[in-house]
Amino acid sequence: MTAAPVGFRCEGGRWAADPPSYSHSVNVEQAYASVADLYIGLFGTVQQVHPDDLAFIGRHLSIRPGKVIDVGCGPGHLTGYLRSLGVDATGIDIVPEFVAHARAAHPDGDYRLESVESLDAESGSVAGVLAWFSTIHLPPPELDGVLAELRRVLTPDGTLVAGFFEAEAEGEGVEPFEHKVATAYRWPADEFAGRLTRAGFAEVERLHRPSDGTHRPYAAIAAVSHRSAVTGR
């Protein structure tokens, strides 16, 4: 048998997904906490975000009325951007330094220390979710659980916008790489989209941003929570 794909192990001659382990969240939290000031300086304002990304986010999440949660909001600049468009956006993150900065930099918004793995929101109560590079550190088998949690809190037809690093080569699978903060994963966009479909989302629009020498290739997908996939509502 060849080497195990990322996130899987060999069990009785067959591949089995690694059991979920949220210990990576602790490592990710500590890793971001240790570079929070640097991160805020490099990425913490909307001026540092590509205009096409802002347009994509704004186009799909300018949802009024209705709450939008920016999960893994980091410095809070994208929450602030959505609020500047009149959106009732709040931000959550696991890094206290980010939450403190977001509260200070964008005092009109609500920022909470919370994990995307278990959101403090009623089922079907949220109109939109922004997950901008917030799932990049999740070991691949754990993405499904997080997408299910996002799906749980969204209203039928609620919108999810997710940004993630994209696999560079055709035919490449999900691959880990040494991101400057903590191990991250790059996804073939079709595979990320497939996970969204399995979680009960229907893709609406996709954005590709190939590398221009200054950043890694990345993609974003806007998807709506599929009404027909809703059970018990």
Ligand X SMILES: C[S@@+](CC[C@H](N)C(=O)[O-])C[C@H]1O[C@@H](n2cnc3c(N)ncnc32)[C@H](O)[C@@H]1O
Site residues for ligand X per CB under 6 A: 25, 28, 32, 43, 71-74, 78, 92-95, 98, 115-117, 132-134, 136-137
If the CB atoms of residues 78 and 223 are measured against ligand X, the closer one turns out to be: 78
What's the closest the beta carbon of residue 199 comes to ligand X, in angstroms? Answer: 16
Task: Identify the CA nearest to 185 among candidates 198, 172, 197.
Answer: 172
Q: What number of CA atoms fall less than 13 Å from residue 143's CA on the CB side?
A: 26
If the CB atoms of residues 32 and 201 are measured against ligand X, the closer one turns out to be: 32
Residue 16 region by backbone torsions, left for phi larger than 0, else alpha for psi between -120 and 50, else beta: beta
What's the closest the beta carbon of residue 231 comes to ligand X, in angstroms? Answer: 25
If the CB atoms of residues 16 and 48 are measured against ligand X, the closer one turns out to be: 48
CA distance 31 to 203: 32
Contact 177, 186 (CB under 8 A): yes
If the CB atoms of residues 216 and 226 are measured against ligand X, the closer one turns out to be: 216
What's the closest the beta carbon of residue 160 comes to ligand X, in angstroms? Answer: 14
Asked if the peptide bond before residue 65 counts as cis, ω within 30 degrees of 0, the response is yes
What's the closest the beta carbon of residue 132 comes to ligand X, in angstroms? Answer: 4
If the CB atoms of residues 142 and 155 are measured against ligand X, the closer one turns out to be: 142
Neighbours of 77 (CB within 10 A): 24
CA distance 159 to 57: 11
What's the closest the beta carbon of residue 6 comes to ligand X, in angstroms? Answer: 18
What's the closest the beta carbon of residue 177 comes to ligand X, in angstroms? Answer: 13
If the CB atoms of residues 16 and 41 are measured against ligand X, the closer one turns out to be: 41
Q: Which DSSP string corresponds to 15-63?
A: EEEPPP-THHHHHHHHHHHHTHHHHHHHH-SGGGS-HHHHHHHHHHH--
